[in-house]
Each structure stands twice: as structure tokens, then as C-alpha cells.
């Protein structure tokens, strides 16, 4: 259970600017009709803005206006609807339960039903092993009213709410079979052999229980990704205190504490390496199998495994603020969310049970009136209709696939924020990439520094590095790094002002400096004079060119040209080619001049003649380019990593943020790639496509069971036992089909090319 505050600016409650969010575990749900009933019950609670129930995770997520005792009222609403609200401890216990938990009632049902079903097996071999009627009654009654009591309880609550669910269908159908058999037995003449249907009711109850138990086992496997992530959290940390090293619970660790992490241990929380060197296994967080070298000052992530070095770290984040906690929250949110297609299924399920009850009644009347069949025959056919029509598989089809798909994606470093992103991603036919930091390494270096005639190179570079010393921009860091390489001493700038998409200006000592793009200098009417030809040549060679100038009383004075170069990311070219081979349109957005952008595009294998490169794009214009593509009827995915990519990520149909980028970008995106591997873009689209395919397969088979089964049962081709087996197997087959997604692996090596890591 989690409680967080969500800002909701469009809330219909004008006096409440903030909504609370609560997750509640719910026991006793059996089909899609249960989902609809619980959602209606929760939405009736005053102050509730929205309620989403997920049968696969057996939980509800409610958003509501803050009010006293709201959690208690929500839990009471769940209980009044006929279901069990679970505490956080119960949910955790339920999650770690043994796979054999709950098999006891199934085993008892099998033992009591086997003697009843044995005569059916004997008939196939020409043997007639009919048990006495009283013994059939003794075996069937405990199954019907003992093991089947759960169906009566849930069915009664369903009737009180004037709705229907699977339990009501099972309760009515099996009770009708048991009551008919009892009536035939008690009214039969002495010594007469009458055909009874006790085996039908008992076996159906047992099969339904068996199906629910198998379904629960499959759900347990589907949530294994969450449990694996929780298992990454160590319980104890080695705290360095005034009295030396002491072991404390991780829950007591504070930001700023210094912790010792021994070889082979997991880092308990996020932090920064202060002493020592090591290799770190981050595979469970990023999907990267190779260990990552860590030096002084490098970031350490809680849950990762320390290599062979004993290190000292300083804590930077604890509790819910750690990277691992955010990952768990993202995966839980995705698995709890409801895909758009599931809402349609829920609407169908809400009217499904009443329609089935009517069909069963019509079946009974048709066999009695039109076919002239005996009452017991007509009743058995009606019972078969009730049993086979249970909408269990229908409710599980979508959430089961989403749980499995998001879980296996997280294992390989692909975090899917919500089900809608997963469902939309498979439709993507255009992928727009930011250039710097996404397709390129994002660590440009100063490749050329050309000063104006009469200027001193070291002095001018010192000015440029001083102006850029407070900036985190990649080009600014490259200038500072170049000055450090020459051992030049920089000074702190004053009154620095960044001009988005153009550059920056400020004062270094008494000198007022301007450093930015050639385009900006054109806007400021600065002539490059003797350096114009060299600037053009550098741009044609693929360098990003900036200009340093000084403001004087007579205007701007040219000081130097700065040329920057970057390298394509390993595997980027292969990934772009693989996406193009799948029919996906590729577009690279760059703020660089056209010459620089096209030079990098050539190295990446992009086809500039086909419009795959858009250069000289200001940060604020990126989202406009996304919208322009959408107006052409394209379904667009945007891939980026910087703060200036956030509007474009939000504007795209699907945003994919590089996990090595900024938090702002990750919040704006629907999918986060935990490491800066471009191949994960293709992998994310692939798992989306496969998950949606599983959803469609599951929905097809779920509908097919009912569409084919109901007419067959109504026409008398299915008896209740076969109908019960088919109904149970429909749920199991849907879960099993969804679990096939757990075998998925991204084909990163093929995308990166031979010989790569």
C-alpha cells in the first residue's frame, strides 16, 4: 500500500488542488464482473475522483480528495461490495506465499469427486460402475456446500448489488445440478435406477477451484519481477560512526552518512564513491551484463553488487528517493494501470453475466417447449450454459499480459511507466531522436580553437573557460576540460545569462563576453571577417562551431572560433538500420548547423535526402516538429535525455527517455531506458509489439471460448463437466500464454553488430 500526493490541475473539485492516492489489496475477485462491481462501489464513496481495479494484481488504485478516515471508508466500501480489503502486510504475505498455498481445498475436492467421476471413465470401456444414490449424495454435498461456499457468499453479494459475476453463475449452475439430482433420487420408485447428476455439480466445483488455484500460481509467476526488485534491498548497512564501523538497519541510514560496502555485497542505498575503486554489477537495474568500473566521485546505485573492492560511500538518497525505489514504483504503476483496451472489456463484462442468465433461461424453456425434452435434460443443458460462460479469462486477458510484459522489460532495463505507453508503442511508425547524448556519446571535445589575429590563444581560452565554468552544458564542459588540459587558471564569471538555443553571456573581470552559435552571432550582426572561411570549413567537416566575442563601446569584437566534435554511440548506426528495416521512419533532431548535423548523420547511416535530418532546431521548437509529424498521420516516438527534450517527450505519442539523462526527461516520458544504449529503443518497441499481440491473442481465445461454448452447451453438445473443464482451462490458458512473454530477450547483440559488448 502506498500513499502519495498527485497534483491534478484539471480536477473537477476546484477547492482541492491536490488529490491523495491509495493502493488497496483486494481478495475474492474472480472475474471481470468483479472488477466492475468494486470500481462502482469505490467511486460511490464521496470525494473519490477515480478508482481503477486490476484483477491480475488483485489491487485497487484510488485517487480522492483528502478527508478524515478516508482509507477506512474505502476499505469498508470494498468489504460491503463482498470482497476482502487486504492490509499491506497481507499483500506482502500473499506475494511471497508458497506456490502450493491454497491447494488444500482442491485436493479435498479431487478426492471426493474422483469416485463420482469414475463411472464416466468406466462407460468409455463398457463398464458400468454406478455408485449407490445415497453415496453419491454423501460425496457431492460437502463439495457443493463446503468447498463451494465461497461461490454462494460472493454470488449473494453480487445479487445484493444487482450485478452478476462468475461466482453467481457457478453457484446457480451447480446448485441446479445438485438439486435436480436430489429431487430425482428422492422421488424415484423403490429399486428404480435413475440417472443422477451429482458428479456434474461436484466435478464442476472442483474444476473451478483447480482453475483458480492454477491461475493464482500463474499470477505469482507474473509478479516475479517486482519480487526480484524488492529482493535487491539489503536489510543491513555498515555505518562508519564516531566509534568505528557498526551495523545498522538500512531504514535508519540518513543522507550524508558514510557506509562501508564489502566485496560481493549489495549497495544498500544510493551514494557517491569516496574511497576505493571497484567494479559494480548493475545488471538487475539496467540489464547490462558487464560490470561497470567506479572511481572516486562516481555515483553508486542501491541494489547493485559491489565487485572485488572494499569501498566507502557517502549516502545521497534513501528510502523512496533511491533509484531502486523509483524503479519499483514505475513497474508497480505500470502493472496496476489499466490499458485502454481493458476498459472496453470491462464494459462488456458488466452486462455479460445478466445476458448469460437470460440465455440459460431461454435454453431451459427451448428444450422444454420446443424440443419436448424432460425437465432434467433441459436443466442440465441450462446448467452447462451457465458454467461455460464464466468470464474469468476475459478479465485476465489484458492485465496478465501487461504484468508479464512490463516485468520482463524491467529485467532488461526498460521501465514502462503505464499501460497506455505500452499499448501505443506498438503502433509507432516514426522515431525521432535527439542527437547529443542520445545518438552520440554526448561528451563533445574541443577539436579546434582558432583565435582572431593579434589575440593570445591561452588568454582567450582562459576567458572562454571562465565564462563556461558554471555551466553543465556538454559544450561548456568541453571548453573547461580543454583549459584544464593546458593547466590554465579560470576565474568565476559574474552576471552570467544563458540564451536558450543560442549560447551565453556574462562578465569575466571587467570584460563582457558573448559565446554562442554562428547563427546567434549573425543575429547580433557580428562579422567573422578573416575567420569566416575557416568557420565554414569546420562546419562542412562536421564540427559544431561556436564564436567567442567581447562587447565593447563600439560593438562586438571577434575573439575566437571554437569547434567541437562528438562520437556516435556504439551500436547507434545498427539500431537505426534495424528500425528502418522494420518500416519505421527515422528522424534526427539537432540544434547544430546543417553541415555539422549532416556530417554526423552520414556517420550514423542516416539518409539526409529522405528528410531524416532536421538541423538548427531550437530547444523550444522540438515539440513543434513532433506535432508536425503527428499532423501527417504518423504515430511518433521521441527519444531524448535532456531537460530541453522534456516538452517533445511529452508531446510525442510515446516518449522514451535515456536513463543516463535528467530526471525531468524521465518524468515526461512514458518509457525509461535505464542505460544509454540506443538498441533498447528497438527492444522497447519489440516488447510492446509482443505484449499487445499477447493481449489480442488472449482476448480472442477468451471470447472464442464463450462464443463457441455457449451455443454448443445450449444445443446439448456439452455436459456441465466438460463445460466446467473448458471454463477452468480458459483462464489457465490465458495466463500461460501471457507468461510466455517471460522468455523474451532483447536482441541487443545483433543490433550492436559483431564484436561489440
CATH number of the domain residue 10 falls in: 3.30.70.100
Same domain flag for 575 and 638:
yes
Same domain flag for 34 and 12:
yes
Contact 299, 281 (CB under 8 A): no
* pLDDT for position 93: 60
Same domain flag for 28 and 46:
yes
Q: What is the DSSP string of 360-420?
A: HHHHHHHHHHTS---HHHHHHHHHHHHHHT--HHHHHHHHHHHHHHHHHHHHTTEEE--HH
Distance, in Å, from the CA atom of 470 to the CA atom of 479, rounded to the nearest integer, reads 11
291-302 tens-digit pLDDT: 788 888 888 989
Residue 8 in this model has a pLDDT that exceeds 70: no
Same domain flag for 430 and 501:
no
> 206 lies in a domain?
no
With a pLDDT cut of 70, the percent of the chain lying above it is: 84
Residue 222 CA from chain centroid, whole number: 13
> 459 lies in a domain?
yes
* pLDDT for position 462: 94
494-528 tens-digit pLDDT: 988 888 778 899 999 889 999 998 889 988 988 88
Confidence of residue 542 (pLDDT cuts 50, 70, 90): confident
* pLDDT for position 754: 37
Joined together, the cell numbers standing for residue 167 give 461466482
Which range of residues forms the domain containing residue 309? 254-317
Same domain flag for 469 and 618:
no
Distance, in Å, from the CA atom of 339 to the CA atom of 686, rounded to the nearest integer, reads 18
Residues in the chain: 757
Same domain flag for 535 and 647:
no
CB neighbour list of residue 712: distance below 8 Å, 6 or more residues apart: 388, 718
Query: Is the whole model's pTM more than 0.75, yes or no?
Result: no
CB neighbour list of residue 179: distance below 8 Å, 6 or more residues apart: none
Task: For 165-291, list the strands marked E by DSSP.
Answer: 236-241, 244-249, 258-261, 270-275, 278-281
> 711 lies in a domain?
no
Confidence of residue 15 (pLDDT cuts 50, 70, 90): very low
Its sign, for the CA torsion 356, 357, 361, 362, is: negative
Confidence of residue 270 (pLDDT cuts 50, 70, 90): very high
* Catalytic-role residue among 281, 333, 418, 434: 434
Residue 757 in this model has a pLDDT that exceeds 60: no
CATH number of the domain residue 453 falls in: 3.40.1110.10
Confidence of residue 479 (pLDDT cuts 50, 70, 90): very high
Residue 437 in this model has a pLDDT that exceeds 80: no
Q: Which residue has the cell 593547466?
A: 487
* pLDDT for position 155: 80
Same domain flag for 601 and 526:
no
* pLDDT for position 92: 61
> 481 lies in a domain?
yes
Same domain flag for 593 and 553:
no
**Final residue of a structural domain among 539, 565, 591:** 565
Its sign, for the CA torsion 747, 752, 753, 754, is: negative
* Residue 142 CB burial class (10 angstroms; 0-12, 13-18, ≥19): middle
Same domain flag for 646 and 590:
yes
* pLDDT for position 565: 81
> Using only C-alpha atoms, what is the Rg of the chain?
33
> 735 lies in a domain?
no
CATH number of the domain residue 301 falls in: 2.70.150.10
Beta bridge partners of 476: none
Same domain flag for 55 and 89:
yes
**Final residue of a structural domain among 296, 317, 338:** 317
* pLDDT for position 585: 92
Query: Of 367 and 162, which is predicted with more confidence?
Result: 367
64-118 tens-digit pLDDT: 998 888 999 999 999 888 888 987 766 666 555 566 777 888 899 989 988 887 7
Confidence of residue 403 (pLDDT cuts 50, 70, 90): confident
Distance, in Å, from the CA atom of 569 to the CA atom of 688, rounded to the nearest integer, reads 24
Confidence of residue 13 (pLDDT cuts 50, 70, 90): very low
Region 541-555: what's the mean pLDDT?
87
Same domain flag for 496 and 461:
yes
> 678 lies in a domain?
yes
Number of domains in the chain: 4
326-358 tens-digit pLDDT: 777 766 776 666 666 666 666 676 677 788 888
Residue 16 in this model has a pLDDT that exceeds 50: no
**Most confident by average pLDDT, 7-21, 321-335, 520-534:** 520-534
> 543 lies in a domain?
yes
Same domain flag for 634 and 670:
yes
> 561 lies in a domain?
yes
Residue 212 in this model has a pLDDT that exceeds 90: no
The answer to whether residue 434 is catalytic is: yes
Region 364-383: what's the mean pLDDT?
88
133-165 tens-digit pLDDT: 889 899 999 999 999 898 888 788 777 777 666
**Final residue of a structural domain among 45, 76, 95:** 95
Amino acid at each position: 500500500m502506498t500513499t502519495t500526493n498527485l497534483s491534478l490541475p484539471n480536477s473537477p473539485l476546484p477547492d482541492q488542488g491536490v488529490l491523495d492516492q491509495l493502493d488497496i489489496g483486494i481478495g475474492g475477485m474472480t472475474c471481470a464482473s468483479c472488477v466492475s462491481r468494486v470500481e462502482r462501489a469505490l467511486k460511490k464513496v464521496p470525494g473519490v475522483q477515480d478508482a481503477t481495479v486490476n484483477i491480475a494484481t488483485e489491487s485497487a488504485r484510488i485517487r480522492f480528495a483528502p478527508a478524515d478516515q478516508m482509507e477506512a471508508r474505502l476499505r469498508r466500501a470494498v468489504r460491503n461490495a463482498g470482497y476482502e480489503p487486504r492490509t499491506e502486510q497481507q499483500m506482502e504475505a500473499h506475494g511471497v506465499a508458497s506456490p502450493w498455498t491454497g491447494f488444500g481445498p482442491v485436493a479435498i475436492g479431487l478426492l471426493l469427486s474422483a469416485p463420482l467421476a469414475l463411472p464416466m471413465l468406466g462407460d468409455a470401456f463398457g463398464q458400468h460402475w454406478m455408485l449407490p444414490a445415497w453415496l453419491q449424495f454423501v460425496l457431492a454435498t460437502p463439495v457443493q456446500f463446503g468447498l463451494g461456499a465461497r461461490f454462494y457468499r460472493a454470488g449473494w453479494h453480487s445479487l445484493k448489488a444487482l450485478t452478476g459475476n462468475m461466482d453467481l453463475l457457478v453457484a446457480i449452475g451447480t446448485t441446479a445440478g445438485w438439486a435436480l439430482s436430489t429431487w430425482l433420487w428422492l422421488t424415484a420408485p423403490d429399486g428404480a435406477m435413475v440417472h443422477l447428476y451429482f458428479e456434474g455439480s461436484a466435478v464442476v466445483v472442483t474444476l473451478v477451484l483447480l482453475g483458480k488455484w492454477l491461475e493464482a500460481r500463474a499470477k505469482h509467476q507474473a509478479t516475479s519481477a517486482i519480487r526480484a526488485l524488492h529482493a535487491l534491498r539489503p536489510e543491513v548497512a555498515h555505518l562508519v560512526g564516531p566509534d568505528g564501523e557498526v551495523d545498522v538497519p538500512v531504514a535508519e541510514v540518513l543522507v550524508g552518512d558514510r557506509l562501508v560496502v564489502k566485496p560481493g555485497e549489495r549497495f544498500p542505498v544510493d551514494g557517491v564513491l569516496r574511497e576505493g575503486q571497484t567494479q559494480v554489477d548493475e545488471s538487475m537495474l539496467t540489464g547490462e551484463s558487464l560490470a561497470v568500473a567506479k572511481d572516486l566521485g562516481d555515483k553508486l546505485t542501491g541494489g547493485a553488487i559491489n565487485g572485488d573492492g572494499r569501498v566507502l560511500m557517502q549516502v545521497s538518497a534513501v528510502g523512496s528517493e533511491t533509484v531502486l525505489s523509483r524503479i519499483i514504483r514505475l513497474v508497480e504503476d505500470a502493472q496496476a494501470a489499466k490499458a485502454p483496451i481493458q476498459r472496453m472489456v470491462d464494459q462488456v463484462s458488466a452486462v455479460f453475466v445478466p445476458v448469460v442468465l437470460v440465455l440459460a433461461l431461454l435454453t431451459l424453456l427451448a428444450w422444454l417447449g420446443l424440443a419436448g425434452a424432460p425437465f432434467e435434460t433441459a436443466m442440465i443443458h441450462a446448467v452447462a450454459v451457465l458454467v461455460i460462460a464464466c468470464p474469468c479469462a476475459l478479465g485476465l486477458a489484458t492485465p496478465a499480459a501487461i504484468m508479464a510484459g512490463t516485468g520482463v522489460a524491467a529485467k532488461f532495463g526498460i521501465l514502462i511507466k503505464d499501460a497506455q505507453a505500452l499499448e501505443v508503442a506498438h503502433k509507432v511508425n516514426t522515431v525521432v531522436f535527439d542527437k547529443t547524448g542520445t545518438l552520440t556519446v554526448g561528451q563533445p571535445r574541443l577539436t579546434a580553437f582558432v583565435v582572431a589575429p593579434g589575440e593570445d590563444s591561452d588568454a582567450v581560452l582562459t576567458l572562454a573557460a571562465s565564462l563556461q565554468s558554471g555551466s553543465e552544458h556538454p559544450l561548456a564542459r568541453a571548453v573547461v576540460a580543454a583549459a584544464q588540459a593546458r593547466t590554465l587558471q579560470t576565474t568565476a564569471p559574474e552576471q552570467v545569462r544563458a540564451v536558450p538555443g543560442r549560447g551565453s553571456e556574462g562578465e569575466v573581470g571587467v570584460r563582457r563576453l558573448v559565446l554562442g552559435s554562428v547563427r546567434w552571432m549573425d543575429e547580433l550582426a557580428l562579422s567573422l571577417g578573416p575567420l569566416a572561411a575557416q568557420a565554414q570549413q569546420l562546419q562542412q567537416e562536421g564540427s559544431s562551431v561556436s564564436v567567442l566575442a567581447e562587447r565593447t563601446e563600439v560593438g562586438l569584437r571577434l575573439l575566437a572560433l571554437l569547434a567541437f566534435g562528438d562520437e556516435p554511440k556504439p551500436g547507434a548506426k545498427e539500431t537505426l538500420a534495424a528500425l528502418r528495416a522494420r518500416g519505421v521512419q527515422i528522424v534526427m533532431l539537432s540544434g547544430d548547423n546543417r553541415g555539422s548535423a549532416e556530417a554526423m548523420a552520414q556517420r550514423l547511416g542516416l539518409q539526409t535526402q529522405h528528410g531524416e535530418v532536421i538541423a538548427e532546431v531550437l530547444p523550444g521548437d522540438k515539440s513543434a516538429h513532433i506535432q508536425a509529424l503527428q499532423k501527417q498521420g504518423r504515430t511518433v516516438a521521441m527519444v531524448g535525455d535532456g531537460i530541453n527534450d522534456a516538452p517533445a517527450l511529452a508531446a510525442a505519442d510515446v516518449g522514451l527517455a535515456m536513463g543516463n539523462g535528467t530526471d525531468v526527461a524521465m518524468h515526461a516520458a512514458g518509457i525509461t531506458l535505464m542505460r544509454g544504449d540506443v538498441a533498447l529503443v528497438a527492444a522497447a518497441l519489440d516488447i510492446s509489439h509482443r505484449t499487445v499481440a499477447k493481449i489480442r491473442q488472449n482476448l480472442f481465445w477468451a471470447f472464442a471460448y464463450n462464443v463457441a461454448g455457449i451455443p454448443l452447451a445450449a444445443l446439448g453438445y456439452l455436459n456441465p463437466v466438460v463445460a466446467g473443464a473448458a471454463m477452468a482451462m480458459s483462464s489457465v490458458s490465458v495466463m500461460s500464454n501471457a507468461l510466455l512473454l517471460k522468455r523474451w530477450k532483447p536482441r541487443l547483440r545483433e543490433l550492436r553488430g559483431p564484436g561489440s559488448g
